[in-house]
Amino acid sequence: MENTNNVAAVKSKPQGNSKNTAAHIRLIIEKILVYVFLMLNVFICLFFFYILIVNSTMSKDELQGVFTGIPSTHFFDNLKSALNTADVDLPQATWNSFLVAALSAIVTTYFSALSAYAIHTYRFKGRKFIAGFILAIMMIPSQVSSLGFLKLCNQMGATNQLWVLIIPGVAAPAVYFYMLQYLQATLPLDLVEASRIDGSSEFRTFNRIVLPIMKPALAVQGIFSFVGSWNNLYMPALLLTDDDKKTLPVILANLSSKAHSQADAGQVWMTILIAIVPIVVVFLILSKQIIKGVTSGSVKG
């Protein structure tokens, strides 16, 4: 942590002794209060996951009984029935979600970086205007275009096709904006010049020299695109009606509207668990980079 260093610098100021003891006690009390406060928030964050995990281990009948908070033994039964139910094809939905999210992440980051590179590197006519234009359209909520988008997909006969959820990622103003900021901070134009002198083509320079430099930004935005796409319900719910094309959020939305007396509650909990586990695992592995990414730049809120 960067701040610990300057902490030491400030702390080293000598202070009066008696005052020090009183301040020390105060500090300890403050610390206790702060940790209590932190733990309270930890509790809020983890409590619901705990219940989710506990309930995913319980049978339908146990779920109807008194809530104990103690895990039961039906985890694998539920897992089996969630994966095997004829109603929803969970493996297929997971695969669909993964495909859309992964490709969106690649497409979004690559082309946003390319667009940002174009604005950053080249001095062409209308550059300022284009840069300003992209900034302006960033503020328009995506839902505003959803009707036309739906209509467009109908015209193209592209409902129930996953690629229409991926290709629009090429034009992602917010990601572009982040990339541009990153480039301005990290890419000296001399480097591009040097590469040209080496005889590299412009496209090659971007792919071979610039992209590697942008790796941290690509990773951060890639993860955000992945998460955003993985979790997206709005457009997929309107577009995907075929059972074998549905993504996880659409399946979950269907589950909640499904009649309760028909559904096996243990199986429903398990389905939720399956829907969130992959992303949590990815997050925990990459949490350091993600947190750095959020802290170092703007994220869509």
Partner 1 sequence: MVHVATAQQPKKKKISYAKWGYIFLIPFFVVYLIFTLYPQLLTIGYSFTETYYDLDPIAGSHWEGPRFIGIENYITLFTPDANGEIRILKYLGNTMIMWVICALPQFIVSLLLAVIFTSNRLKIKGQPFFKTVFYMPNVIMASAFGLLFFELFGSVGPINKMLISMGWLKESYDFLGHEVSVRTLIGLLNYIMWFGNTTLVLMAGIQGIDDSVFESARIDGAGAFRTFFTITMPLLKPIFLYVFITSMIGGLQMFDVPQILTNGQGTPNKTSFTLVMYLNQMLGVKNYGISGAISVTLFFFTAILSIFVFKGITKDNKN
Partner 2 sequence: MKKSVLGLTLATLAAGMLLGSCGKAADANVLNIQCWNEEFRGFFNRYSTDEGKALLKEGKLMDDDAKKAKEGYHVDGVPVKFVETPSTDGAYQKALDNALEGNAGKKAADKVDMFLAEADYILKYANSAVTQDIDTLTNTKIDQSHVYNYTKQAASDASGHVKGISFQCCPSGLIYNRTIAKDMFGTDDPAVVQTKVDSWEKFETLGDQLKAKNAHYKLTASFAETYRVFSNNVKAPWVNSANELSIPAEVVTWMDQAEDLVTKGETVTDGIWDAGKTALIKKDPKAEDDKAFCCFGPAWYYNFCMGDSKAGDWAVIKGPQSHFWGGTWLMAASGTDNGDLVAKIMDQYINDAGTMQALIKNENQFTNNQVENQKAADAGHANAFLGGQNDTALFCEAAKSIKFENVTAYDQYCNEGLQNKYQEYLVSLKTGNGKVTREQAINNFKTSMKEQFPKLIIK
Q: What is the CA radius of gyration of the chain?
A: 25
Using CB under 8 A as the binding rule, the residues of this chain from 185 to 224 that contact partner 1 are: 196-197, 199, 201-204, 206
* One residue of 248, 264, 267, 270 binding partner 1 per CB under 8 A: 248
Long-range contacts of 80-88 (CB under 8 A, 24+ apart): 81/264, 81/266, 81/267, 81/270, 82/267, 82/270, 82/271, 82/274, 83/274, 85/267, 88/243, 88/251, 88/254, 88/255, 88/271
Quick check: 175 and 112 in contact, CB under 8 A? yes
> Is the Cα dihedral 284, 290, 294, 298 positive or negative?
negative
* One residue of 37, 49, 163, 234 binding partner 2 per CB under 8 A: 163
Residue 48 binds which entry of partner 1, partner 2, none, CB below 5-8 Å type-dependent = partner 1
Task: Name the residue among 102, 104, 99, 87 with its Cα closest to residue 251.
Answer: 87
- Does 234 sit near partner 1 (CB under 8 A)? yes
DSSP 93-104: HHHHHHHHHHHH
Using CB under 8 A as the binding rule, the residues of this chain from 81 to 120 that contact partner 2 are: 83-87, 99, 102-103, 106-107
CB closer to partner 2, 254 vs 296: 254
Which x/- pattern over 60-79 shows residues binding partner 1 (rule: CB under 8 A)? ----x-xx-x----------
* One residue of 162, 239, 251, 252 binding partner 2 per CB under 8 A: 162
- Does 16 sit near partner 1 (CB under 8 A)? no
Give the nearest distance from C-beta 210 to partner 2 in angstroms: 10
If DSSP states are collapsed to H, E and C, what string results for 198-226?
CCCCHHHHHHHHHHHHCHHHHHHHHHHHH
Residues in the chain: 301
Residue 99 binds which entry of partner 1, partner 2, none, CB below 5-8 Å type-dependent = partner 2
Using CB under 8 A as the binding rule, the residues of this chain from 247 to 286 that contact partner 2 are: 254, 257-262, 265
| Residues engaged in binding partner 2 (CB under 8 A) | 60-61, 64, 83-87, 99, 102-103, 106-107, 161-163, 166, 207-208, 211-212, 241-243, 254, 257-262, 265
